[in-house]
């Protein structure tokens, strides 16, 4: 792929603004009508998909980008994918997110990247995780309580952030599998970082090494289902892996999808009451960016007609219903919805904490304000990155609102 491939998409931008604000009919208030975190934060059009596409077009047609300011703008984007959704549904069917990612890849290959990104690459090269923690400590959280099999049809891919920073999510996931009597395996030392963060910051070579290794490790495990509790890993496997490794020969499943089937089949029962008013936050890579990528090659004709026809990733077929249905099945729990949900959900900012911690914190604080507006006592989500960023934002302002990962509430309610 290259920027040249997307030249027509960039030229077709009409500056309609739908990448910045939620479309009129879907807005519920002025306070929470923003869609793009960086445009809401900084106000200038450069800080939006429209602006970054203009930068990409300039790089393509005029040569190398050498302005630090423009570099900062390009890397400020959270890659939440709302602009991609809006452009496809409302207007031009442009591959907005892929253009942003391709621009970053081109900049990174030219040595233009924030210093924090280079540290992430070094960490992965040395330790196979973005945090630089020893690889042999990745499964320290695994106690004798859990007995994974050497071979099973389900392989649970834990992920870096869960393994090193939020092990309680992994432990809760395994407790659910145990309660359902499900046989599962772990990749153990063969599990490397999924490569999602590296891919989204443009570090393609480092990401490809991880992706190719993980696919081979999954195949060797003999599993035909890859189970994930991390939204970032989930979206990366479904949307980005096929671009590198080709079509996956195993099914990618989020834990909420599996638990939903457990409840329907009677394999687990949620009987213990949790008296709490909660709201659900849709992680970007579980919802908008949680669809399978289908490769396409062909010609774009007049009026954008693609021949052969193209499978578009609109963002509406991500994992939206299962987490909500599970929450509604927990006795005593009251689910209330925020204004921006599903495809329109506001990003938590957690995916780019390393490069822009202040912006990440502000983005999470905005979401907390939205949760408070519906009088929620706690925010529930399905991503360790969301968990860390929300918990930091809550602590920074000493908020009374709480945060829970979905699997933690499931375990609390198990009969």
- Domain span at residue 98? 1-113
- Segments of the chain scoring below 50 in pLDDT: none
Q: What is the pLDDT of residue 353?
A: 64
Last residue of a domain, one of 98, 113, 128: 113
84 falls within a domain: yes
CB 331 within 8 A of CB 48: no
Does 177 share its domain with 211?
Answer: yes
CA atoms of 410 and 391, how far apart (whole Å):
20
Site of tokens 């900049």: 107
275 falls within a domain: no
274 falls within a domain: no
Q: What is the pLDDT of residue 360?
A: 92
332 falls within a domain: no
- Total number of residues shown for the chain: 415
The closest of 126, 124, 261, 127 to 197, measured between CA atoms, is 124
Give 324-390 as a DSSP string. Answer: HHHHHHSTTEEE---SS-GGGPPP-SGGGTTT-HHHHHHHHHHHHHHHHHTT-SEEEES-HHHHHHH
CA atoms of 166 and 188, how far apart (whole Å):
17
How does strand 306-307 pair with strand 299-300? antiparallel
Where residue 57 sits, what CATH number does that domain have?
A: 1.10.1060.10
Last residue of a domain, one of 248, 265, 282: 265
The closest of 243, 195, 250, 242 to 218, measured between CA atoms, is 250
Q: What is the DSSP letter of 140?
A: T
Count CB-CB contacts under 10 A for residue 172.
21
Cα 356 to chain center, whole Å?
17
Structure tokens that stand for 264 in this block = 């329907």
364 falls within a domain: no
1: Cβ contacts below 8 Å, ≥ 6 apart: 98, 102, 243
Structure tokens that stand for 10 in this block = 């960039």
Q: What is the pLDDT of residue 167?
A: 97
Buried b (16+ CB within 10 A) or exposed e, 361-387: bbbbbbbbbbbbeeebbbbbbbbbbbb
CA atoms of 138 and 161, how far apart (whole Å):
10
Structure tokens that stand for 315 in this block = 């963002």
The four Cα atoms 89, 95, 100, 105 give a dihedral, to 10 degrees, of: 150
Q: Which tens digits make up the pLDDT trace of 367-400?
A: 999 999 999 999 999 999 999 999 999 999 999 9
Last residue of a domain, one of 265, 293, 327: 265
**Total number of domains in the chain:** 2
Q: Which tens digits make up the pLDDT trace of 117-166?
A: 889 999 999 999 999 999 999 999 999 999 999 999 999 999 999 999 99
Structure tokens that stand for 105 in this block = 């890849």
Q: How much of the chain, in percent, has pLDDT values that exceed 90?
A: 80
CA atoms of 122 and 198, how far apart (whole Å):
11
Does 126 share its domain with 80?
Answer: no
Q: What is the pLDDT of residue 304?
A: 76
CA atoms of 407 and 322, how far apart (whole Å):
12
306 falls within a domain: no
Where residue 245 sits, what CATH number does that domain have?
A: 3.40.50.1860
């Amino acid at each position: 792929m290259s920027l040249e491939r997307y030249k027509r998409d960039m030229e077709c931008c009409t500056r309609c603004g739908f990448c910045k604000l939620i479309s009129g009919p879907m807005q519920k208030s002025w306070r929470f009508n923003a869609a793009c975190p960086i445009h809401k934060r900084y106000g200038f059009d450069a800080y939006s998909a429209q602006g970054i596409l203009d930068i990409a077009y300039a790089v393509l047609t005029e040569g190398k980008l050498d302005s630090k300011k423009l570099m900062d703008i390009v890397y400020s984007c959270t890659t939440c994918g709302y602009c991609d959704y809006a452009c496809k549904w409302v207007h031009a069917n442009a591959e907005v997110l892929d253009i942003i990612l391709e621009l970053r890849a081109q900049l990174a290959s030219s040595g233009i990247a924030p210093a924090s990104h280079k540290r992430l690459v070094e960490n992965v090269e040395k330790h196979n995780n973005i945090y630089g923690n020893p690889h042999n400590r990745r499964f320290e959280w695994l106690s004798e309580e859990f007995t994974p099999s050497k071979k099973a049809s389900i392989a649970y891919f834990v992920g870096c952030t869960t393994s090193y920073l939020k092990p309680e999510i992994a432990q809760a996931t395994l407790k659910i599998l145990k309660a359902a009597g499900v046989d599962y395996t772990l990749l153990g030392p063969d599990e490397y970082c999924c490569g999602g963060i590296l891919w989204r910051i443009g570090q393609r070579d480092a990401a490809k090494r991880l992706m190719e290794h993980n696919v081979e490790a999954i195949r060797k495990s003999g599993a035909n289902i890859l189970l994930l509790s991390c939204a970032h890993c989930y979206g990366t496997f479904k949307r980005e892996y096929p671009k590198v490794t080709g079509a996956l020969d195993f099914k990618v499943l989020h834990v909420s999808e599996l638990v939903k089937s457990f409840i329907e089949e009677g394999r687990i029962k949620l009987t213990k009451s949790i008296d709490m008013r909660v709201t659900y936050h849709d992680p970007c890579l579980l919802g908008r960016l949680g669809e399978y990528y289908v490769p396409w090659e062909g010609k774009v004709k007049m009026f954008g007609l693609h021949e052969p026809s193209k499978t578009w990733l609109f963002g509406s077929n991500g994992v939206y219903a299962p987490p909500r249905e599970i929450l509604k099945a927990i006795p005593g729990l009251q689910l209330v919805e925020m204004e921006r949900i599903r495809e329109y959900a506001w990003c938590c900012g957690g995916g780019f904490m390393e490069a822009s911690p202040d912006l990440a914190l502000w983005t999470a604080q905005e979401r907390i304000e939205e949760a408070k507006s519906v009088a929620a006592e706690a925010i529930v989500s399905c991503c360790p990155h969301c968990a860390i960023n929300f918990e930091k934002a809550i602590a920074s302002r000493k908020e009374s609102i709480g945060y829970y990962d979905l699997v933690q509430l499931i375990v609390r309610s198990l009969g």
